[in-house]
Structure 1
Amino acid sequence: MAHLLLIDDDPELIARQIRRVFPPPDHSLDEARTGAEGILKAGRDAPDVILLDLRLPDRSGLEVYDAIRRGDARIPVIFVTMARKADAAIEAMKHGAYDYLLKPIDLHQIRKVIEGAVEVGRRMREPAIIAERGAELDAEGVIVGSCPAMIEVYKAIGRVASQDVPVLITGESGTGKELVARAIYQHSLRARAPFLTLNCAAIPETLLESELFGHEKGAFTSADRRRIGKFEQCNGGTLLLDEIGDMPLALQAKVLRLIQDQVFERVGGNETVSTDVRLLAATHRDLKTWSTDGKFRPDLYYRLGVFTIQLPPLRERGEDLELLVRYFLRRLNPQLGREVRDVAPEALERLRSHTWPGNIRELQSVLKQALLQASGPILLEQFLPASLNRTEEASRPAVIRGGALNVQLLGEFSPDDRDLYSELHRQLDRILLPRAMEFARGSQHQAALFLGIARQTLRQKLRQLGIHPADHPSTDEEDGGG
């Protein structure tokens, strides 16, 4: 349900359009005909989104916007205007307005813009609650888990949230990197300023620079007006660049300059624009390896990696799986019209035996499929999708034999699989390195010789796996120097 506020001295037409796209009773639309009335209602009712006319009888839309922003800068404000140049609306965008629309308003456009604004507002206002065992929480989009690895994640969030430095959040796809970013934002000193997210992998390379930095009119063929980018729009707030590992190299140089100097130029412009943005970045890539391979700028990696939070994959989170299953059942039951209150032991064991390459996102999808098949109050094993109930023959691992090593490839390829090459290497490290250290009786020097890698590389990989030298006491003095 969306609660919208329209501030316009002649609201009839726009109000009718909004109610067609967001009909009652699922959504509510309040109206104000003056700036003073709009400011009062915005402060009293905390709407999800505000639509604000630039021309009001008692004051300008910009003055109303500034007053609303002083009260709560997290409420997305969409300007509506008759002026084709819309210089005032562009100026408002530079100070954090969500977007602006030109009258007469297109129904498809207004739906798209308002839906986006509602989602942005939700991310800023709904707490990224950390739900531990026994907590009966039904809020959407919360961090759920109490395993040791997640406790370390919570500690890291607490250590860095109030420090105004970049944070790099890493982990496999579907592990909840955006939720961690939102938790950092909500516990930061910028918690009442805007929080925006941009997925670098979801936007074509030709448009990504404009999305980030904006462009001037005439910068390219379709640039019929000036556009304000996310770095300028989010001034004073926090910006999450999701999947930053997929950002083109040429664009990485501009991001590096912004981190260092907080200045940039719009595409096609010469004006140097100053901004004040806290940057959070997330990726499922191994940026250190990518920087070594020339796929990511090393200088940008080191600036982003001032503080890194590594999220564990679901398969390494132990009893958190049951906690997550029960959380998603509570969330999904009302959505799908089901009343499944418990999970059969056989179904839970089947879920535990799965390797979850898609992590929490895959778990949510599997439970949706299971609930659609379910009848009665208990989730039975037979309701789980076929992908989790393959026969022994279908699930038998393929074995590649070569030299002294047998590599087992579990399962089958899926259309949703990504980054399999890197993931196989990570899985191989988890199996091979501990065994090499055990065979070498804790000697990093000997283990590195067995593996044919530098001892420094071995140490780095051991740290990434959470294996410390103390776990494998060294038997030769050559390793004693650290």
Structure 2
Amino acid sequence: MPRTIVVDDDRTIREMVSRSLEKIDVEVKAVSSSEELLSVIGDYRPDVVLLDIMLPGTSGLDVFKQIRQVDRRLPVVFITSSSDSEMAIEAMQLGAFDYLAKPLDLPRLNTLVEKAIETQRLMNTPIALPLGDSKPKNGDQFVGRSPRMLDVFKSIGRVASENVNVLIRGESGTGKELVARAIYQHSLRNTECFMAVNCAALTDTLLESELFGHEKGAFTGAERQRIGRFEQCNGGTIFLDEVGDMSQLTQGKVLRLLQEQKFERVGGNKTIETDVRIIAATNRDLEEMVKQGTFRQDLFYRLNGMTINLPPLRERGDDVALLVEHYLVNACHEMGRTEMEGVSSEALRMLVNYKWPGNVRELQSVIRHSLLNCTGPVIVPSCLPAELQNQTAEPAVATSTETAEETPRVESNGTSPLQADLSSFVNDRLTGGSTDLYSETVEMMEKYLFTRVLKETGGNQTRAAEILGITRGKIRDRIAQFNISVDKTINIDE
């Protein structure tokens, strides 16, 4: 049975919390002082501590720091009658699991304690992705060893030293500028300048001025002459990101530059010669744009000296785990989170299974978000953003409030082969060319296990939690995730 210690000098609070938590099968030890807490915490080994922030003779914040020295993975929930926002902010900065104000909302307290217990359990299971002594790497790094990414690396190697234009294609956030920089760094022009221009971020007039420069008085606001990127980048490499967003006029001028390496500034008539290599990138269907007449066919052919197609993150298989480790190491270093140990197996499985519509850029954001949410040394599912936690959740057909008198029927509406022989399942997935077999197998086994135990208990979630050694909150999560319906049936004896 999970254990908790409640620390409060108010006897009424201690008794009220104890009665509430006993209803969800949590063993409670109530103490009235910090000295008593620190004397029993080592032997009692609680799963969560409920700590009054205003204790006689001391601050709960100071006590929290002492608890951290005993067990930095132990979730601590502060409870207080104070309305001081500064205290709440400081508590969360120190790493508190959560903060509750009096008068206590007991149903919310119960839910929070269940969540904290589950988080503590996950933090104490073997870490799926340990950080070890990993150090952040300097500069932009390519991370990946999936077949699709190996093809990208090989393409970069083939084209980098050749003086040809390159078109990089891929969804937003896949790392197109990183590919462009890698080509530049391995090219014969790597001692000259590299400049990047986002064609979608500027209006037509500003983009034309940015690329080709302008003369004084060329347009309203042109108070002095400006040297454009093509002129500045003479001898070097220019990266045109989102090239599909250029206007027809700008496309025509870029085409001439590609053909002749000559151009005129906006508002000028002097022809300027330059020598630049162009690397372009887009997430748009240029062939379809050519058919519609919105992108010049001759420019498309000129840019497309060689095409490198970047795969979306969802098609990169095991690269997700490598990228999680890479960006987590960097984020820990930047944010000073030296105590971080890694990512739990369930959190890693959710990260790997996520579809990543924003690709690598979204993954970077999720890692930083998760690190900010993490109150212990291990990232667990509750630290992840809501979109990842809810990615596979589907509403159950019905949910019963389990009691000893009910005789529910449990059935699975999923498509996974719950009772299939494990060997057959693995063989089928291997034949089908699976690239995510570990997660698929674990999910199949978990779904079968939860369905089988719920059938055994007649749908009684409390009893199922006892058998599985987990919390009722975890049972509810899996019922939703695997779309297990728990329908009541009433038998009437004649």
Task: Give the TM-score range, shorter chain.
Answer: 0.5 to 0.7
2:240 matches 1:245: no
Structure-2 change in CA distance of 1:201 and 1:394 (3 Å): farther
Counterpart in 2 of 1:44?
Answer: none
Contact 2:215 2:224 in 1 (8 A): yes
Task: Give 3-state SS (helix, strand or coil) of 1:165's partner.
Answer: coil
Report the Cα distance in structure 2 between the residues aligned to 1:138 and 1:343, rounded to whole angstroms: 20
Report the Cα distance in structure 2 between the residues aligned to 1:323 and 1:136, rounded to whole angstroms: 14
Contact 1:140 1:331 in 2 (8 A): no
Task: Give 3-state SS (helix, strand or coil) of 1:144's partner.
Answer: coil
Counterpart in 1 of 2:297?
Answer: 298
Letter in 1 for 2:202: I
- Give runs of aligned pairs for residues 1-12 of structure 1, distance below 5 A: none
Contact 1:166 1:304 in 2 (8 A): yes
- Give runs of aligned pairs for residues 120-269 of structure 1, distance below 5 A: 138-269=137-268
Contact 2:370 2:385 in 1 (8 A): yes
Contact 1:314 1:321 in 2 (8 A): yes
Query: Alignment length, in residue pairs?
Result: 264
Task: Give 3-state SS (helix, strand or coil) of 1:198's partner.
Answer: strand
Structure-2 change in CA distance of 1:391 and 1:197 (3 Å): closer
Counterpart in 1 of 2:379?
Answer: 379
1:393: Cα distance to partner? 5.9
Counterpart in 1 of 2:21?
Answer: none
Structure-2 change in CA distance of 1:150 and 1:135 (3 Å): farther
Report the Cα distance in structure 2 between the residues aligned to 1:180 and 1:391, rounded to whole angstroms: 30
Counterpart in 2 of 1:289?
Answer: 288
Bigger RCO of structures 1 and 2 (CA < 8 A, at least 6 apart)? 2
Contact 2:135 2:329 in 1 (8 A): no
Q: Which has the larger radius of gyration?
A: 2
1:139: Cα distance to partner? 2.2
Task: Give 3-state SS (helix, strand or coil) of 2:332's partner.
Answer: helix
Question: CA offsets per residue over residues 283-315 of structure 1, 9 Å max, x none?
Answer: 111111211121211111111111000000000
**Identity %, equivalent residues:** 57
Contact 1:329 1:341 in 2 (8 A): no
Letter in 1 for 2:377: P
1:141: Cα distance to partner? 2.1
- Give runs of aligned pairs for residues 57-456 of structure 1, distance below 5 A: 138-338=137-337, 339-390=339-390
Task: Give 3-state SS (helix, strand or coil) of 1:196's partner.
Answer: strand
TM-score normalised to structure 2 length: 0.52
Report the Cα distance in structure 2 between the residues aligned to 1:395 and 1:268, rounded to whole angstroms: 62
Report the Cα distance in structure 1 between the residues aligned to 2:393 and 2:275, rounded to whole angstroms: 58
Question: CA offsets per residue over residues 452-474 of structure 1, 9 Å max, x none?
Answer: xxxxxxxxxxxxxxxxxxxxxxx
Structure-2 change in CA distance of 1:391 and 1:295 (3 Å): closer
Letter in 2 for 1:161: A
Contact 2:347 2:379 in 1 (8 A): yes
Structure-2 change in CA distance of 1:360 and 1:392 (3 Å): closer
**Structure 1 residues 387-396 or 164-173, which shifts more?**
387-396
Q: Which runs of 5+ in 2 are unaligned?
A: 1-132, 397-494
Letter in 1 for 2:218: A
Structure-2 change in CA distance of 1:271 and 1:391 (3 Å): closer
For the aligned residue pairs, the C-alpha RMSD in angstroms reads: 1.9
Contact 1:215 1:228 in 2 (8 A): yes
Structure-2 change in CA distance of 1:140 and 1:331 (3 Å): farther
1:390: Cα distance to partner? 1.7
Counterpart in 2 of 1:13?
Answer: none
TM-score normalised to structure 1 length: 0.53
Structure-2 change in CA distance of 1:344 and 1:224 (3 Å): same
Report the Cα distance in structure 1 between the residues aligned to 2:359 and 2:395, rounded to whole angstroms: 19
1:265: Cα distance to partner? 0.6
1:142: Cα distance to partner? 1.1
Task: Give 3-state SS (helix, strand or coil) of 2:268's partner.
Answer: coil
Question: CA offsets per residue over residues 392-442 of structure 1, 9 Å max, x none?
Answer: 66689xxxxxxxxxxxxxxxxxxxxxxxxxxxxxxxxxxxxxxxxxxxxxx
Report the Cα distance in structure 1 between the residues aligned to 2:388 and 2:296, rounded to whole angstroms: 40
Task: Give 3-state SS (helix, strand or coil) of 1:388's partner.
Answer: helix
Q: Which runs of 5+ in 1 are unaligned?
A: 1-133, 397-482
1:391: Cα distance to partner? 7.2
Report the Cα distance in structure 2 between the residues aligned to 1:299 and 1:135, rounded to whole angstroms: 48
1:337: Cα distance to partner? 2.7
